[in-house]
Structure formats: structure tokens, C-alpha cells
Structure 1
């Protein structure tokens, strides 16, 4: 059955009601753009809801960006939150945001979009009951951490092998000898849980990492960086490296390999606990895995460890399973989108949240959502200006690395530098004559009780 009523009102489809989808919804609502929003789970919050099937979240998880530099525009996190809020606070905050701006009414929960197909300038969206609803645009905002990626190693293993996406509670480690594979931010967090709860804890790494403490001189690291002068990388990097050496010393003495890349050339690893546990011998670093051998894991340096549980903290494959793969230009597992949002080949197929960036995502979502909403608004009200932006989508290929030479990996080949990205978004917005994100644009809710009252 096909419902054709949606196109006549210029309706837009948003898939997903996590932070990115909610940001898009608020931006569309502000400009009076009619939309429907679909969420496969029973509530908003995305990965921050531990009850959301498939979420990679775990009980000890916290934001790796600080309260003061994170959050949606015009909706700051309460001052009562910790410098680095817990997953519970982030979920409460996100749901409070949805309630405060009246976003829940347009969301159809427990409704996973099955298929999206383009027919001319119309988008057919199939929902679980088989109904095909028609829209002029589709915003994909379902995130990038739903398809776990695990390596394969030769041999057989008698213990348990899992991906970190299945990990929830440090009590899972009691009485076990645990090996964490990978040292991204989640791997480092989980390694700390294992260090405090497991019989023995190890981390297998392939390369060295620059570890940035969460506080510098008692100030959250990202706040410390954002409030300082906007220095070029060639000056900022040596200053930060010197500061880290003074604070941390030589990390190789704890078994970590020397990094094979410069500071800022990979996703920042923010952790203050890992060095504590390494210094106290509660967790140990091991090299890459060579193979599996019954009850033991063999490493490339010839050493072995008896292990009960291997937990792969090895990341995720990006996918948008409800959209045909050929609708996106996938390169190294990442969709090629203008400004990390606009499809170059399929009109009004938009992705929100499909980027790697060295900053808090929530504010970035808002800046991109602002452009998306104004572009969709112009299509009906200022078509000439929308056509000018269509030309940018087709032709403009900005360099968004900020002069940083990121690691040669699939993840980092899609990386953008936060400062450079925000500046370029502002440049495009100014060029198009679109409205800036000025205070009060979305309705300033700056009282500390805003989150709690919205959740009441």
C-alpha cells in the first residue's frame, strides 16, 4: 500500500531518533518544514540507552568531551553534571532535549524503516507493516556503531571471544583473565574496568598512542584547548607534546609502543585512568595477536598468555542498511558526502552523523542540521538559492583536515578537523546567506533545571 499524501505537503523523512536525528528534527521544526521521524527503538537516545538492542554502550561509559563544550545549541547541560557526564546523564539530557522542544510527537517508535528507494524526485520509504510512504527528502541519522567489526586470527580458542559491543557490566570480568584487543577510547575504558575487576587484565595493541588526560591544570582538556589562542598546528603540537611529557613522562616504560604518528594525527585517546592502572600493574600491554592456541593467546613477539575472555574493541563497519548501497559512493567503508551530509548523486538523500571528528558531536550536528534545514526550506521558498547550493554539492570538494596528516587507515581517511570543519560550514552558510546559529535561535533554555523539568 502506498501513501502519497506526504509529498504534497513537502514532507521530509528522518530515520533515527538519536542525537543526530533529534538535532535534524529541531532544525526542520524551527523552519516549519513538515516531517515524520522513525525510530526502531521504544524511546529516544540512540546508543546512550543501554536498553536499546545492539547499543555499544556500557555502564561505566562517560562522554569523552566535557560538559561545557558539548551539548545541543541553546540547550546547555546542567552545571550539576560532572565535567565528563555519565551515559545516564547523557541519556537524561538527550530525552530532556526532545521533550523541551516538543520533538516526541512526530516520532513513530518501534518502527524500523525497511527500505528507501528513489523514484524520480520522490523517495519511497517502506515501514514494517509494508506501507510505502512518500517524501521529498530522507535524512539518514541512524549512526555508525551498529555493525561490530572483529578481526580473525588463526587457531582455535577454548575460552570466550566477544566484541566490545556486547559488554555492559564490569562484573562480567570477575574471576577471569581478560584480553582487550584495541585501544581506542572504548577499549581504554573497558581495560580500566577489567583492571579493577578481572583476575588479570591485558591489552593487545598494534601501535602506540598519544594519551591525553581528561584534565589539564584541573580544567577539562577540550575546554583548556578551546579557551586558548587559536594556534596553527605547527605551534600547537609541540606545545601540547611538551606539556604531555611533563605531565606523563615516557609512556613506553609502561609497555606502550612509541607512537608511529604525530600528536593529533589520530582520533584523540582521552583517558586519565589507564596510566594509573598501568603504573600499578593492574593491566599490562601486549603486542598484536599472532594466533589462538587452546587456553592461550600467542602474540607476535612470541609471548603467550592464558586467557579466559577475549574482547575485541576493534570498531564498527559503517552501514545504512535500509538504503541501497549504490545510492552512496562508499570509499574505504565511508560514504562520500558533501560536508559529510549531502549526497552528490542522489537528490535530497542526506546523511547526518557520518563523520569522524576530533570534538564533541552534538554541537556539530546542530551546525550541519542548520544548513540541511535551510537548504530544504529554500527548495520551496528560494529555489534559485537552493540551485546554487546544488552546484556546491556537485562541485565543491573542500580540504577539511586542517593541515593534519591523519593516519593512513579507512577511519582516518574520512576524518575532519573540528575547527576547520566549523569554519568551512560557516563560510558556506555566509556564502549562501543562511542564518547563523546565534543565541536564542532555537529558543534559549539556559536554566539549570531545564533538563530535569523536561524529564519530569
Structure 2
């Protein structure tokens, strides 16, 4: 990789690509430091994946946050108490848009503008961003386009012979799609579990196929959202669930699910005991992995067979960045390798949403954007410190696992443990002499609710 030999002109704006939650966090952080920027959004409004009208969104009508309301908001901007404990899709979209209005973030967004390519001049370090509306010369590029747009479809023996419908869950929207059909959901991530519940309630017959067992966590413990336990050390949280799970969850093998082959938090736990309800009542049947397909059905690895009309693969996504040259970042298991999951080795290139974590992401987006903005501020007013941080990016390799041995799959290549991750972000800020992200940090930017509502 050729590294630029000089820094781009500070007269050039930074470019933020995407106006979903990650992009809005980046915009607020830059605005707080008066760093000029342009934000590009291919859709006609903010909201990212939570807007069902956004082309390519993986969202479905029944979706809810898997983290609780009081843990899930942007930094210093709590979600309204009138929302449910686990906000639904419409509430999250409403909240995200009101956040953009409250901080005047729409002002710098160019809607209906897609990005086809970015390139950096290896001599000057200046970026050229090619859009559907022309090119922009930029001092930096902050990619905030998310990780759930490029579906990962497995190759399955016999797929060409299968007479039914095969789709990825990215195309799923409404449970009415299941009515009158025998449906198989493949994959047991949290979205797969959600969609399986929709199938259980609406399909003629529903099945779920999974090769691996997962730990289930109840959404509430003693009436409180279970992610309140995040305030505990990781060992204490594990001990809590070792005590609680046998009482509340029980042995999931009784309902056909495989026993987990890993410890709690070494892969994503399922925050969905509703699926267990449907399994217990026979509304959905658990099956192991798929061995092959034939003309009218599915043969599973245990030799059983089911006739199905629709197979929906909830098998995850590639973290692709289609507008970025492949060699601008190193890729590990289909994930971009970034310092703190945010800083590329190539100067002036950043990402805010390329992270998998056992917690709500919004406040983490803010903390990541905070460090990016501090560094961009240094490139304008403290170049020695900016150069020192670039050296940190090249040489520092912190452990973000929190002592957890994550499952060795591609999906877990970018996994972090939230407590360890937050600690490291604070350590880096202190090491560089940057201020911590404290309450009321953004207060001067916030418009009154009346003014924001009128301008919206």
C-alpha cells in the first residue's frame, strides 16, 4: 500500500458517507468541533436500515432493538420514556430522525446522492469522492454505510433442483409473506429468531434450521431489562446467567435445539425467549443443518426431511464497502481490519459502523466518532499530535476481547467486548490528551425542541 507523503489541505471538507445512526453520530462529532464536512446519503431521508423505504434495508415490520431503551440511545440523548422497554422499528426511526433535527444535522446532508468510488492521491493525501451528482475533493472520508447491506448466501447442494422459493432474509419485510406456506428459516442470529417467530405465527408450518446451539438470555430479570447487568464485570454477568438461565430458560435441547458448543458471550446470545414459546407449543420445529435440497424439500444432516415452499436464509452479511478500493484496507474473514474498528492504516480513512459488540451500538458510535473528530481537529491545529496518533494506529494492537475467547468464525473477526472496548477508547483519549466524552458535551449544538420541530 502506498502511503500519502503529505496531508491534504485543511480547506477541504471531510466527507461522511451515510446518514444512518453511525453517520449522524459522526456528523454531530464534527459539528461540535467546527470541522467542515459534507454528508452524503443515497436515500431521501435519515434513518439508515430502520427506514423500510430505504432501498436494500434488511429491516422487517416486526423488528425491535435487542438492547433496551435506556441503554440504546445516542450519547447524552436518551430515548423517550414512552417507548417500550425494547423499542420497535417505528420508534427507533422516529428517535433517529428527531436526533438529526435536534442537532441541525440535516443542514449538511446531500440526500439522494450515492457514492460510487473514493480514491486518495498518494502524493497530496487528498480524497476524490465520486457521487451520482459529481465529484467532491475531501480531506478525509468517514465510511458509515453499515454492515447489513450485502447478504451472505451459502451454497447448498441441490439448490438448482429445488422447486420452491429461496431467498435471503434481507428481502423479508412482512409476515403476510408466510401465509399458506411451509417455511424454513435457516440461521439463528437474533434477526433469524425474530423472523422464525413471525413464521411460527403466520405460516402453515414453520421450521428453523441451525448447525450451532446458542445461549438464550431473557429480556427481563425481575421486571428489569436484562442488559442492566452490563454494569457488572463480565465474570459477574456470566455468574448471574449461570444461576438465572436454568430457572428461566431451562434445557433448550428439549425443544430440538442443539446445546451450545461455547461459553456464554463467546458468540452472540439470543435475546428472544418468544422463540422458545413457539417451540414449546409446537408452532415451529427445530431442525439441524441442511445436508441437501431436492425438488420439493430439504434433507437435514440427521437424515430427516421436510417439504417446504420457502427457504429464507438468515445467514448474515458481508462487511463490504463497494466504493472503496479493496487494497485500501486489510481484510480478515470478510471484515475490514481497522485500529479500534475505526481507523484505517491509510491516513484520512475512517469507519464508524464496522463493529460487532455485545451491547447497544449507538453510544459506541458516538465514542468512536469522538476520537475520529479529535484526530481530525489535530490535523488542522496540532499536526505533531496528529502525526503521533498516526504512529499509534500503525503500532498499537490492543486486546478488545475482555478475556472472552470468541468463536473462531468470520463473523467474530471484529467482535469486541463492550467493557474492554470502552476502556480502551478512554485510554487512547487520555494517552493523546483528548478530552473525554462527558455529559453536556454537545449541549451548545442542541436546538430547542420547538425550533427543531418547526425546522423539520
Q: Which of 74, 80, 83 in structure 1 is aligned with 2:82?
A: 80
Kindly report structure 1 stretches of 4+ aligned residues shifted beyond 3 Å. Answer: 444-456
Partners of 1:44 and 1:447 lie apart in 2 by: 18
1:138 is aligned to: 141
Displacement, 1:413?
2.4
2:180 is aligned to: 175
The answer to which of 409-418 and 8-17 deviates more is: 8-17
Residues matched between the structures, number: 445
Over 3 Å counting, the alpha-carbon distance change for 1:183 and 1:376 in structure 2 is same
> SS at the partner of 1:342?
coil
Long gaps (5+) in structure 1: 1-5
1:124 is aligned to: 128
Partners of 1:318 and 1:360 lie apart in 2 by: 19
Over 3 Å counting, the alpha-carbon distance change for 1:232 and 1:417 in structure 2 is closer
TM-score (norm 1): 0.94
Q: Which of 198, 201, 221 in structure 2 is aligned with 1:196?
A: 201
Partners of 1:14 and 1:46 lie apart in 2 by: 13
Displacement, 1:231?
2.7
Partners of 1:137 and 1:17 lie apart in 2 by: 16
Partners of 1:438 and 1:327 lie apart in 2 by: 33
Partners of 1:455 and 1:34 lie apart in 2 by: 22
Displacement, 1:132?
2.4
2:5 is aligned to: none
User: Any idea what the Cα deviations from partners look like across 1:366-402, whole Å, max 9, x if unmatched?
Assistant: 0010000011001111112112211110100001000
Long gaps (5+) in structure 2: 1-7
Partners of 2:15 and 2:447 lie apart in 1 by: 32
Partners of 1:365 and 1:237 lie apart in 2 by: 25
1:3 is aligned to: none
Over 3 Å counting, the alpha-carbon distance change for 1:352 and 1:450 in structure 2 is farther
Over 3 Å counting, the alpha-carbon distance change for 1:249 and 1:201 in structure 2 is same
1:328 is aligned to: 329
Partners of 1:448 and 1:418 lie apart in 2 by: 32
Displacement, 1:157?
0.7
> SS at the partner of 1:310?
strand
User: Any idea what the Cα deviations from partners look like across 1:123-143, whole Å, max 9, x if unmatched?
Assistant: 1111114x3221110001101
Over 3 Å counting, the alpha-carbon distance change for 1:263 and 1:172 in structure 2 is same
Over 3 Å counting, the alpha-carbon distance change for 1:297 and 1:438 in structure 2 is same
Q: 2:156 aligned with 1:153, yes or no?
A: yes
Displacement, 1:239?
3.1
User: Any idea what the Cα deviations from partners look like across 1:118-176, whole Å, max 9, x if unmatched?
Assistant: 103101111114x3221110001101111101112111111111100000000111111
2:408 is aligned to: 408
2:385 is aligned to: 385
Partners of 1:87 and 1:285 lie apart in 2 by: 27
- Once the two structures are superposed, the pairs formed by residues 80-119 of structure 1 within 5 Å of their partners are 80-119=82-121
Contact 2:72 2:362 in 1 (8 A): yes
Contact 1:297 1:305 in 2 (8 A): yes
Partners of 1:62 and 1:254 lie apart in 2 by: 24
Partners of 1:261 and 1:157 lie apart in 2 by: 34
Partners of 2:234 and 2:197 lie apart in 1 by: 34
2:368 is aligned to: 368
